[in-house]
Homo-oligomer: A and B are copies of this chain.
């Protein structure tokens, strides 16, 4: 960053988060002094690396209520989602060919399901209600004898809606269908317990929770068979080959330890800031509608539709604040977000969406500045708009 951008307020924490200084510090020795390959079985460098990985694995498992042996390291949640969906599909091909998911999953689920359709799988994409909720009854009704996988996210990264995961887990467990949950946006923000939720597979990503980029995990409940998608050296119990990314794993472990240590405290603080932001925006800007569930949502998420103006035009107009107008992954697309449209919002209205993703570094003063800036930008653009 150069010059005046230094003061930019970052409010896009669903796209990515900075690694905490404590996390980076924990990682550092593993780049240079303790740089060994955990697969090196014949010397100290390997042993030290192996032990660091074990410790981190324990910390990650502890945060989500899993056993360390149930954690498979991946390069991130995109890979975790692919491993879960492709791996379960390939493994159970002979048992059935049907997958149940929902309309507002991350692209890593939806696109991967599309690829599987080309290979003969059948995919049911459940709709969500206007708040973004999946109906557990609809999940139940969608299950057929051919169903081999249910994949429903814990919380949505655009609109923050938290799904009724426990209810869905119960249904999946009762019917004996593997239940995968993309919990990328939830872990570290709300309490996630794989046992309590009946989750069989779960994707997480360090860079969404103040850990480093390039490392994620798939929780894989003991006894769930899966077909590996990256084969070779046999690391991770032969489920995911490749030299382990030791520094990143150590950083991931540290981030999980911090998340667990602080439990709900930081989430509560962000929740209060979030409420302040919501009140401020609603008071200052008319025709501003909240997307996502009014209560069942991530403590750090708001997503507003400002009518008669375009989201890109808003975020360009808001100076010194990093905001997003859709999913971090849908760059260069001209359409409004598929998530907002899935709520039944008309295209034109959906285009006025702005996502506010709060984080540990945001303060009350920043919230007030954001309210002021967004209000100003929306007002200016509305003066320019031919609508309504």
Contact = CB atoms under 8 A, between A and B. Distances in A.
Interface of A: 1, 5, 8, 10, 12, 15-19, 21, 23-24, 27-28, 31-37, 39-46, 48, 74-79, 81-82, 106-109, 111-112, 114-115, 205, 207, 212-215, 229-235, 241-248, 312, 315-316, 321-325, 328-332
Contacts of A31: 18-19, 23-24, 27, 212
A370 to B, nearest CB: 13
Nearest to A16: B37
A21 B12 contact: no
Question: Is the contact region of chain A dominated by helix, strand, or loop, or is it mixed?
Answer: loop
21 contacts: A1-B45, A12-B45, A15-B37, A15-B40, A15-B46, A19-B35, A40-B322, A43-B315, A43-B321, A46-B322, A78-B230, A106-B232, A106-B233, A107-B234, A108-B242, A115-B231, A213-B243, A213-B246, A214-B247, A233-B328, A234-B331
Copies of the chain in the assembly: 2
Contact of A28 (B24, B111, B328): B24
Identify the interface centre among A37, A79, A112, A235: most chain B CB within 10 Å of its CB: A37
B322 A230 contact: no
A243 B12 contact: no
Contacts of A39: 15, 328-329, 331
B332 A41 contact: yes
A78 B82 CA distance: 16
B43 A242 contact: no
Contacts of A315: 42-43
Given A213-B245, A233-B108, A323 B1 contact: no
A381 B328 CA distance: 60
A328 B41 CA distance: 8
A39 B45 CA distance: 36
B108 A16 contact: no
Given A75-B75, A232-B82, A323 B42 contact: yes
Contacts of A112: 231-232
A233 B44 CA distance: 40
A312 B330 CA distance: 52
Given A24-B31, A31-B24, A233 B1 contact: no
B115 A43 contact: no
Nearest to A238: B111
Contact of A32 (B18, B33, B115): B18
Identify the interface centre among A115, A241, A330: most chain B CB within 10 Å of its CB: A241
Contacts of A16: 35-37, 40, 243
Contact of A214 (B215, B312, B332): B215
Nearest to A11: B43
B42 A322 contact: yes
Given A232-B111, A232-B112, A35 B8 contact: no
Contacts of A230: 78-79, 82, 229
A43 B323 CA distance: 7
